[in-house]
Structure 1
Amino acid sequence: MDLYKETAHRPIPLPPNNWIMRQSWRNALFLHWPVHPNQLQPLLPSSVVIDTYEGSAWIGIVAFWMKGIYFRGIPFLSVIPPFAEMNVRTYVRYNGKPGVFFITLDVGDWASLNIAKKWYRLPYHTADVQIQQTGSVISYTNARKYEPVFFEGSCTPASEVFFPKEGTLDHFLTEKYCFYTTKNKQDLYHGDIHHQPWPLQKAEIEIGKNTLLSTLNIRADERPIAHFSKGVDSLMWNVKKL
Structure 2
Amino acid sequence: MKLIYDNAHRPYPIPSDYWIMRQAWRNLLFIHWPISLEKVRQFVHPSLHIDTFDGDAWLGIIIFEMEGIYPRGFPSISIIPPFAEINVRTYVHYNGKPGIYFMSLDVGDLASLTIAKRWLHLPYKHSHISIQKIGKAFYYDSIRVKQTNPQIICKGSYSPVKDIFFPIEGTLDHWLTERYCFFSSNKRDNLYCCEIHHDPWPLQQAEAIIKKNTLFTPFQIDISDIQPIFHFSKGVDSLIWNIKKA
**TM band (smaller chain):** over 0.9
- For residue 101 of structure 1, give the secondary structure of its aligned residue in structure 2: strand
Identify the residue that residue 104 of structure 1 maps to in structure 2: 104
Change (3 A) 1:96 1:185: farther
* Partner Cα separation in structure 1 for residue 187 and residue 56 of structure 2: 26
Match in the other structure for 2:198? 195
Q: What is the distance in 2 between the residues matched to 1:51 and 1:228?
A: 22
Question: Residues of 2 paired with 1:184 and 1:149: CA distance?
Answer: 23
Aligned to 1:49: 49
- Counterparts in 2 of 1:134-153, with a 5 A limit? 134-146=134-146, 147=148, 148-153=151-156
Provide the aligned C-alpha RMSD in A. 1.0
CA distance in 2, matches of 1:160, 1:145: 37
Whole-Å separation in 1 of the counterparts to 2:20 and 2:84: 22
Equivalent residue of 2:221, what SS? coil
CA distance in 1, matches of 2:126, 2:188: 21
The reply on whether 1:228 has 2:235 as its aligned counterpart is no
CA distance in 2, matches of 1:19, 1:111: 22
Alignment-mate amino acid for residue 4 of structure 2:
Y
For residues 103-133 of structure 1, give each alpha carbon's deviation from its aligned partner in whole angstroms, at most 9, with x where no partner exists. 1000011232211111111110010111111
Q: Distance in 1 between matches of 2:187 and 2:215?
A: 20
TM-score by length of 2: 0.96
Q: Number of matched residues?
A: 242
Q: Is 1:241 paired with 2:245?
A: yes
Q: CA deviation at 1:92?
A: 0.2
Determine whether 1:161 maps to 2:164: yes
Which residue does the alignment assign to 1:124?
A: 124
Displacement of 1:185 after TM fit? 7.6
In the alignment, residue 162 of structure 2 is paired with which amino acid? S
**Separation in 2, partners of 1:125, 1:156:** 26
Once the two structures are superposed, the pairs formed by residues 26-65 of structure 1 within 5 Å of their partners are 26-65=26-65
Deviations for 1:35-89, whole angstroms, at most 9, x for unmatched residues? 0000001101110000000110000000110000000011110000000000000
- CA deviation after TM superposition for structure 1 residue 235, in Å: 0.1
Alignment of 1:179 with 2:182, yes or no, is yes
2:21 match: 21
Distance 2:217 2:231 in 1: 22
Contact 1:181 1:188 survives alignment (8 Å) = yes
Runs of 4+ in structure 1 deviating by more than 4 angstroms, as ranges, are none
The question of whether the paired residues in 2 share the 8 Å contact of 1:153 and 1:206 is answered with yes
TM-score by length of 1: 0.98
SS class of match (1:45): coil
